């Protein structure tokens, strides 16, 4: 899954993790997703290339749904739906 997003999904919150390195993007994502209602979508923005495999593994382990991710310039953007 490495697509150019058309933002077809309504985003309920955005988390800026630019400049942070492992494990901080995942720690901050976990904190931010807790504040959302089940089914809502978080957009996480990171600059650490390790955030791709980290976010994929975190989503599998937590049951949250990684809807899509893509590269936007030097940033990686992720859309994550909170598990119901």
pLDDT for 78: 98
Average confidence score pLDDT of the chain: 92
| Given 12, 20, 22, 52, the catalytic residue | 22
Q: Tell me if 39 is assigned to some domain.
A: yes
Does 22 qualify as catalytic in the annotation? yes
Q: Tell me if 2 is assigned to some domain.
A: no
Total structural domains within the chain: 1
pLDDT for 7: 56
CATH code at position 60: 3.30.110.40
Residue 69 contacts residue 50 (beta carbons within 8 Å) = no
Q: What is the pTM of this model?
A: 0.88
- Which DSSP helix (H) or strand (E) runs through 44? strand 41-46
- Residue-number span of the structural domain to which 61 is assigned: 13-81
Question: Is residue 18 predicted with pLDDT exceeding 70?
Answer: yes
The most distant pair of C-alpha atoms in the chain lies apart, rounded to whole Å, by 32
Residues 44-73: tens digit of each pLDDT? 999 999 999 999 999 999 999 999 999 989
């Amino acid at each position: 899954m490495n697509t150019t997003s058309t933002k077809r999904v309504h985003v309920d919150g955005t988390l800026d993790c630019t400049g942070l390195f492992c494990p901080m993007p995942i720690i901050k994502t976990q904190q931010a997703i807790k504040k959302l209602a089940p089914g809502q979508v978080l957009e996480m923005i990171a600059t650490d290339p390790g955030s791709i495999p980290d976010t994929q593994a975190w989503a599998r382990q937590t049951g949250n749904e990684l809807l899509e991710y893509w590269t936007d310039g030097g940033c990686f953007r992720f859309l994550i739906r909170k598990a119901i």
